[in-house]
Amino acid sequence: MPDLIEAGDGVYEMDVRGYSCPYPEVFTRNAIDSLEPGDVLKITLDNRPSTETVPAAVEEVGNRVLGVESRGSREWVIEVESR
Amino acid sequence: MGKRVELTLSEDVERFADRFSLGRDNGRGSQHFLRVKVPRGSLSSDKFRDIARMAEEYGRNGYAEVTNRQSIQLHWIEGGDAMDIFRRLDEMGLSTDKCGQSYPGTRYGDVRNVVVCPAAGLDAEEKVDVEGIAGEINDFFIGNRDFLDMPRKFKISITGCGIGCTKPHIQDLGLYPVEREGGVGFGALIGGSTGQSLPGPAIAKPLGAFIPKDRVFDVTRAAVEIHRDNSNRESKARSRFKWLVREWGVQRVRETIEAKIGGTLPDLDVVPEVADEEHPGIGEQKDGRNYLTVPLIGGVMYSDLMRGIASVAERYGGGEVRTTTHQNLLIPNVPTSEVGGAKEELSRIGVPLDRRPYQWTAMGCPSDFCGKTVASSSKKDLVRATHALESRFGDRLDDLDLKLYISGCVNDCCLASIAHLGLKGRGSGDSQRYDLLLGGGLTGEPELSERVAEAIAPSEIEDVIGALVQECVDSGYDDFGIFFEDRGPRELEAAASSALGREESS
Ligand code: SF4
């Protein structure tokens, strides 16, 4: 199972590579629950559909998506701010 | 490395990650599909009813589909409901496909639901009962971490019947029964697939080896391991087993299997004579009872119908419902004295058993959900085509063998590449168009279908299919495959062009 890593200054990272739908979404919802408002979470993933479903899930519960960035052709990093 | 904060996940997530996932939909407002693996195609009527309830609670309007790999697929599934759904399926002893499809790379391929003859253990004519072997194979691979990160998916089918209902020619590994002195065993076809990945649609090749019953599991495991360890991990287009079979050749695959199982297999030159047939209508069981195959069009059903069928299975059969390889259902164990009552009840709920041959086998994919088609859908176009055929020909179709398969795109989930008369979508969104493919088939000399017309609009399907079937039945044929063989692609291309009002291509 992925861990939430505190990178410092209210920035957290989570690596969910290897998980297909719906797990990146499930882990992200769960991770956000343990963050303080204003904290930032960077999620690394390799399941393409999650680049759409994770931002949608994050926004659904009132958080902000700061960006979805591709790293090469097979990985993405989604940056989210907890509200 | 920063400080670790543990997620407060329930234990279930860890257990579920290997056995459950959602697939990605992209149409009709559906974000995800749920493809429930139905092991051996068999469910108790209670579980069948539970799935109907889930289709109501988590999907929309109780909509569900039987796939041609005998799974049951629901749509409009929300990611937020996934854990509840997985918990329920887990309690029912079920799982889902892993749907590693969405990864851009050559990873996370799993063993798909093993396709099994739906009349296994029942059919009076079957050569060998494969239920036990199929169960063993399925149980071994489901959630097995050693086989969840293969270069791509791996498809297996096994049948003991003589009509190749499990389509062994288009599987990565298709097992079919072979009678020999000393007992029944299996032959295997390897490296088949209708999809576009390289080297393109391919009919599986005979392994050329006789597999005794007690070695089937070992051979299957060895074949899957060969795929896992040797198929291409650089290029997704080359990562299906069919590419490896082509690269290595059948002999090397066979020798590697034999090395893995620690023994040579006797040579075999028997291939399936008949394949890709359905077990239609009422079938006689070896114990004197009967199984009833319940026709669905394109595998589509709603929860009310599912409940009705579950009740028929309980009242007249043994409380079991099976899924077939042509998107139908099958109710086993109906005593002869109860067949009349069951038939009547099935008619009353909208699924009468008096269908024509082509209606038992006709298939269409859920292209509208996967988003490859927008304006129409393969299932709707299948309905359109069957209505057109019915109103134009009616009873004249009673004796016609016609495999009509429609896929919304080149991935060809619904097997237009092996159809007598197939439509394969060109994936052009709003202006959906199909290529018309003719002359495929797995009986006799297995053949892929050939393209005879391009870019047909859904509204033109009626005319072009109508014209070809007209010519076929007017000429006295009862098998569209033989009609194609006799007439040849050029003549039928001309007929199709004329029906479409197009200039003939030179
Ligand atoms: S054939 Fe294409 S359109 Fe049809 S279900 Fe498969 S991927 Fe979707």
DSSP string, B71-97: -EEEEEE-GGGHHHHHHHHHHTT-EE-
Helix axes B131-141, B216-230, angle to 10 degrees: 30
pLDDT band at residue B7 under the 50/70/90 scheme: confident
Give B421's strand partners: B404, B438
Q: Which of B324, B351, B378 is the last residue of a domain?
A: B351
Looking at residue B175, its pLDDT comes to 98
Q: In this structure, are strands B434-438 and B450-456 parallel, antiparallel, or unpaired?
A: antiparallel
User: Are B72 and B181 members of one domain?
Assistant: no
Looking at residue B373, its pLDDT comes to 74
Nearest CA distance, B98 vs chain A (angstrom): 8
Q: Is the pLDDT assigned to residue B408 strictly greater than 80?
A: yes
Give B456's strand partners: B434
* Residue B366 alpha carbon, nearest atom of ligand 1: 5
* Residue B367 alpha carbon, nearest atom of ligand 1: 3
Give B206's strand partners: B189
Asked whether B189 and B171 are in contact (CB, 8 A), the reply is: yes
Half-sphere exposure of B135 (CA within 13 A, CB side): 9
User: Are B91 and B121 members of one domain?
Assistant: no
Residue B450: both structure tokens together? 């050939």
Looking at beta carbons, which residues of chain A come within 8 Å of B4?
Answer: 3-6
CA dist., res. A71 & res. B5, Å (int): 25
Mean predicted confidence (pLDDT) in B310-315: 98
User: Are B247 and B313 members of one domain?
Assistant: no
Higher-confidence position of B503 and B192: B192
- Helix-then-strand count for chain B, H and E: 14, 23
CA dist., res. B175 & res. A65, Å (int): 50
Beta carbon of B363 within 6 Å of any ligand 1 atom:
no
User: Are B308 and B374 members of one domain?
Assistant: no
Could you tell me if residue A51 is inside a domain?
yes
Q: By the CB < 8 Å criterion, does B29 face chain A?
A: no
CA dist., res. B319 & res. B303, Å (int): 17
* Residue B408 alpha carbon, nearest atom of ligand 1: 3
Protein residue whose Cα sits closest to atom 7 of ligand 1: B411
CATH number of the domain encompassing residue B298: 3.30.70.3340
User: Are B463 and B376 members of one domain?
Assistant: yes
Q: Is the pLDDT assigned to residue B364 strictly greater than 50?
A: yes
Mean pLDDT of chain B: 94
Domain interval for residue A62: 4-77
Could you tell me if residue B110 is inside a domain?
no
Best of A12, A20, A51 to substitute, by most chain B Cβ atoms within 10 angstroms, is A20
Give A77's strand partners: A44, A69
Ligand 1 binding pocket mutation candidate from B196, B197, B406, B412 (most atoms within 8 A of CB): B412
6-25 of B, contacting A, C-beta below 8 A:
6-9, 13-14, 17, 21-24
pLDDT band at residue B1 under the 50/70/90 scheme: low
Chain A residue whose CA is closest to B26: A49
First to last CA, chain B: 68
Q: DSSP secondary structure string, B272-340?
A: -SS-S----SEEEBTTS-EEEEEP-STTEEEHHHHHHHHHHHHHHSSSEEEE-TTS-EEEEEE-HHHHH
Burial label for B383, CB within 10 Å (0-12, 13-18, 19+), is middle
* Residue B378 alpha carbon, nearest atom of ligand 1: 4
Could you tell me if residue B272 is inside a domain?
no
Protein residue whose Cα sits closest to atom 8 of ligand 1: B367
Asked whether B37 and B96 are in contact (CB, 8 A), the reply is: yes
Q: How many domains does chain A have?
A: 1
CA dist., res. B115 & res. B324, Å (int): 9
pLDDT band at residue B452 under the 50/70/90 scheme: very high
Mean predicted confidence (pLDDT) in B388-395: 96
Looking at beta carbons, which residues of chain A come within 8 Å of B98?
Answer: 20
Beta carbon of B412 within 6 Å of any ligand 1 atom:
yes
Could you tell me if residue A24 is inside a domain?
yes
Mean predicted confidence (pLDDT) in B316-329: 98
Beta carbon of B161 within 6 Å of any ligand 1 atom:
no
Catalytic residues of A: 21
Chain B residue whose CA is closest to A21: B22
Mean predicted confidence (pLDDT) in B495-502: 94
Could you tell me if residue A18 is inside a domain?
yes
Cis, bond preceding A22 (omega within 30 deg of 0): yes
Tens-digit pLDDT profile for chain A (83 aa)? Answer: 898 999 989 999 999 998 888 999 999 999 998 899 999 999 999 988 899 889 998 998 899 999 999 998 889 999 999 98
Long-range contacts of B469-476 (CB under 8 A, 24+ apart): B469/B389, B469/B392, B469/B393, B469/B397, B469/B400, B469/B402, B469/B421, B470/B392, B470/B393, B471/B495, B472/B400, B472/B402, B473/B393, B473/B396, B473/B397, B473/B400
Percent of chain B with pLDDT over 70: 97
Looking at beta carbons, which residues of chain A come within 8 Å of B1?
Answer: 5
Higher-confidence position of B438 and B26: B438
In the DSSP assignment, the letter for residue B220 is H
CATH number of the domain encompassing residue B189: 3.30.413.10
Instruction: Out of B2-11, B57-66, B153-162, pick the least confident.
Output: B2-11
Beta carbon of B409 within 6 Å of any ligand 1 atom:
yes
Could you tell me if residue A68 is inside a domain?
yes
Q: How many CB pairs under 8 A join A and B?
A: 98
Q: Is the pLDDT assigned to residue B505 strictly greater than 60?
A: no
Q: By the CB < 8 Å criterion, does A38 face chain B?
A: no
Looking at beta carbons, which residues of chain B come within 8 Å of A27?
Answer: 7, 9
Best of A47, A58, A60 to substitute, by most chain B Cβ atoms within 10 angstroms, is A47
Could you tell me if residue B274 is inside a domain?
no
Beta carbon of B320 within 6 Å of any ligand 1 atom:
no
Mean predicted confidence (pLDDT) in B463-492: 96
Cα B70 to Cα B53, B118, B141, B165, B246: the distances in Å are: 19, 9, 17, 12, 28
Q: Is the pLDDT assigned to residue B348 strictly greater than 60?
A: yes
First to last CA, chain A: 25
Q: How many domains does chain B have?
A: 4
Nearest CA distance, A74 vs chain B (angstrom): 6
Could you tell me if residue A82 is inside a domain?
no
CA dist., res. B326 & res. B346, Å (int): 19
User: Are B93 and B119 members of one domain?
Assistant: no
Residue B163: both structure tokens together? 């009509």
Long-range contacts of B452-458 (CB under 8 A, 24+ apart): B452/B489, B452/B492, B452/B493, B452/B496, B453/B493, B453/B496, B453/B497, B453/B500, B453/B502, B454/B426, B455/B426, B456/B423, B456/B500, B457/B431, B457/B432, B457/B433, B458/B375, B458/B376, B458/B380, B458/B381, B458/B384, B458/B432, B458/B434
Cis, bond preceding B199 (omega within 30 deg of 0): yes
CATH number of the domain encompassing residue A68: 3.30.110.40
Looking at residue B182, its pLDDT comes to 83
Beta carbon of B407 within 6 Å of any ligand 1 atom:
yes
User: Are B123 and B211 members of one domain?
Assistant: yes
Ligand 1 binding pocket mutation candidate from B28, B363, B365, B379 (most atoms within 8 A of CB): B365
Looking at residue B11, its pLDDT comes to 77
Looking at residue B181, its pLDDT comes to 87
Helix axes B45-57, B303-316, angle to 10 degrees: 170
User: Are B64 and B138 members of one domain?
Assistant: no
Could you tell me if residue B475 is inside a domain?
yes
CA dist., res. B437 & res. B474, Å (int): 21
Q: Is the pLDDT assigned to residue B104 strictly greater than 60?
A: yes
User: Are B335 and B364 members of one domain?
Assistant: no
Q: Is the pLDDT assigned to residue B311 strictly greater than 60?
A: yes
Beta carbon of B150 within 6 Å of any ligand 1 atom:
no
User: Are B126 and B239 members of one domain?
Assistant: yes
User: Are B339 and B378 members of one domain?
Assistant: no
Query: Considering only CA atoms, which of B213, B214, B208 is closest in space to residue B188?
Result: B208
Tell if the CB–CB gap between B2 and A25 is shorter than 8 Å.
no
Q: In this structure, are strands B300-302 and B320-323 parallel, antiparallel, or unpaired?
A: unpaired
Domain interval for residue B335: 282-351
Q: Determine which helix (DSSP H) or strand (DSSP E) holds B239, and give its type and residue range.
A: none
Q: Which of B261, B290, B319 is the last residue of a domain?
A: B261
Ligand 1 binding pocket mutation candidate from B194, B413, B434 (most atoms within 8 A of CB): B413
Q: Is the pLDDT assigned to residue B100 strictly greater than 70?
A: no
Looking at residue B506, its pLDDT comes to 45
Q: By the CB < 8 Å criterion, does A18 face chain B?
A: yes
CA dist., res. B454 & res. B497, Å (int): 10
Asked whether B231 and B244 are in contact (CB, 8 A), the reply is: yes
Mean predicted confidence (pLDDT) in B218-234: 97
Looking at residue B9, its pLDDT comes to 80
Looking at residue B13, its pLDDT comes to 87
Q: By the CB < 8 Å criterion, does B498 face chain A?
A: no
3-state helix, strand, coil split of chain B in percent (to 5) is 40, 25, 40
Q: Which of B261, B290, B313 is the last residue of a domain?
A: B261
Chain A residue whose CA is closest to B32: A21
Could you tell me if residue A83 is inside a domain?
no
Q: What ipTM score was computed for the predicted complex, to two decimals?
A: 0.85
Q: What angle do CA B132, B301, B143 make, to 5 degrees?
A: 40
Asked whether A46 and A18 are in contact (CB, 8 A), the reply is: yes
Q: Is B447 helix (H, G, I), strand (E, B) or coil?
A: strand
Beta carbon of B153 within 6 Å of any ligand 1 atom:
no
Q: By the CB < 8 Å criterion, does A2 face chain B?
A: yes
User: Are B250 and B291 members of one domain?
Assistant: no
Q: Is the pLDDT assigned to residue B268 strictly greater than 80?
A: yes
